[in-house]
């Protein structure tokens, strides 16, 4: 079961399209939009709302984005506010209390879609204003060093023997990218994903602490969060949900695919704003994000955290969410998570 990847030719085309999209975003923001509406500029501080607790992947995205946006000329002070709960629903609902105000933005991920598909939240992504897709991020599954489970094969064999014997930790809610990969592994073991024992944490930080302490048997989270733990010798990474091994610090970590298990999935991460943002407000953020992702500093950050570049401006992000919503509905149905 594969939902992201491709060969060398596809990768070349994707990268070419990626850079063309960035160029188009900058051009649209500074040339096309002014002819239609005056470009908005912030008049006070910007707040980035994070859809989970401190220390997790969404928090890491927000902190890095804050740092890189703050380098842009004329950008006011930017603060980050963590609002965990409801798999991100609390953060996104609070965002919409500031309709029409582009000083408020929030991190965006798969849970924005899955919450609605699963009926966890009535909030639909179309109730908000997509501003950008920034990256794709793979999932890593690991155990603490004292665990007898050392490889993906060990994990699959344990699940075959008893689907509920192991506890799996993930955050910030069911139906997100971590749950999708876990469901793929359950299907690889030939078991019903609904039989798995899953413990949900409000943020990656407290969840990882619990996993390191042995309070859950297996942690399912982002590759970027697993890399420093693996390098420091604190965890054993059983597999990564990438088609091929990733560059940089992730190169030593095996994929599930190379071990014979078809679990390939990459989640998107981006930024969303409240409803009712104007063309001029979107133009400001299009230009800002496009300038960030083309900087050498951001590229270095992406490599450090094992983020795969996948920038899309506000217009393309909305179109992409339309596609992602239907794809995710299909995946979650196949995994038996929803009807």
CA angle 312/82/55 to nearest 5° reads: 85
Q: What is the pTM of this model?
A: 0.81
- Compute the distance between CA of residue 115 and CA of residue 332 in angstroms, rounded to an integer: 11
Tell me the pLDDT tens digit for each residue of 6-23.
444 444 445 455 555 555
Structural domains of the chain, with CATH: 24-137+266-334 (3.40.190.150), 138-259 (3.40.190.10)
Dist CA 152 CA 239 (whole Å): 6
* Distance of alpha carbon 224 from alpha carbon 275, whole angstroms: 31
Q: Check residue 220 and give left, alpha or beta (phi > 0: left; psi -120 to 50: alpha).
A: beta
pLDDT at 53: 86
- Say how far apart CA 85 and CA 203 lie, in whole Å: 9
In this predicted model, what pLDDT tens digit does every residue of 84-131 receive, in sequence order?
Answer: 988 889 999 999 999 999 999 999 999 999 999 999 899 999 999 999
From CA 171, how far away is CA 109, in angstroms rounded?
A: 12
Residue 5 pLDDT level (bands cut at 50, 70, 90):
very low
SS3 225: helix
Mean pLDDT of the chain, nearest integer: 89
Between 8 and 159, name the one with better pLDDT.
159
Q: What is the pLDDT of residues 208-247, one digit of tens each?
A: 999 999 999 999 999 999 999 999 999 999 999 999 999 9
Q: Where are the beta strands (DSSP E) in 171-330?
A: 197-200, 218-222, 235-240, 266-273, 307-312
SS (H, E, C) 261-293: CCCECEEEEEEEECCCCCHHHHHHHHHHHHHHH
Helix 57-69 to helix 223-231 angle, to the nearest 10 degrees? 100
Q: What is the pLDDT of residues 182-195, one digit of tens each?
A: 999 999 999 999 89
The pLDDT of residue 9 is 42
Which residues 6+ apart lie within 8 Å of 335 measured at CB? 180, 183, 184, 186, 187, 193
- Weakest-pLDDT range from 63-72, 88-97, 269-278: 88-97
Place of tokens 């980050």: 80
């Amino acid at each position: 079961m594969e939902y992201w990847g491709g060969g060398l030719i596809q990768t070349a085309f994707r990268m070419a399209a990626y850079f063309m999209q960035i160029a188009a975003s900058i051009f649209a923001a500074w040339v096309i939009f002014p002819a239609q509406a005056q470009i908005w500029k912030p008049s006070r501080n910007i707040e980035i709302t994070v859809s989970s607790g401190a220390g997790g992947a969404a928090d890491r995205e927000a902190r890095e984005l804050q740092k890189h946006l703050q380098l842009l000329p004329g950008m006011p002070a930017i603060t980050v506010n963590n609002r965990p709960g409801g798999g991100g629903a609390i953060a996104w609902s609070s965002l919409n209390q500031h309709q029409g105000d582009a000083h408020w933005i929030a991190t965006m991920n798969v849970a924005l879609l899955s919450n609605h598909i699963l009926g966890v939240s009535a909030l639909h992504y179309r109730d908000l204003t997509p501003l950008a897709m920034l990256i794709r991020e793979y999932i890593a599954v690991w155990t603490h060093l004292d665990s007898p489970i050392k490889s993906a094969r060990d994990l699959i064999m344990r699940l075959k023997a008893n689907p509920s014997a192991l506890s799996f930790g993930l955050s910030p809610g069911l139906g997100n990218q971590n749950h999708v990969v876990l469901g793929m592994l359950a299907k690889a073991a030939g078991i019903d994903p609904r039989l798995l024992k899953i413990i949900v944490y409000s943020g990656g930080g407290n969840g990882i602490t619990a996993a390191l302490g042995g309070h859950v048997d297996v942690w399912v989270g982002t590759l970027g969060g697993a890399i420093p733990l693996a390098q420091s010798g604190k965890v054993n990474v059983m597999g990564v949900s990438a088609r091929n091994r990733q560059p940089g610090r992730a190169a030593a970590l095996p994929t599930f695919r190379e071990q014979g298990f078809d679990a390939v999935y990459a989640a998107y991460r981006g930024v969303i704003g409240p409803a009712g943002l104007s063309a001029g407000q979107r133009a400001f953020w299009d230009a800002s994000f496009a300038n960030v992702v083309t900087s050498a500093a951001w590229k270095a950050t992406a490599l450090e955290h094992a983020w795969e570049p996948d920038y899309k401006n506000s217009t393309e992000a909305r179109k992409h969410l339309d596609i992602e919503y239907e794809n995710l509905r299909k995946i979650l149905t196949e995994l038996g998570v929803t009807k």
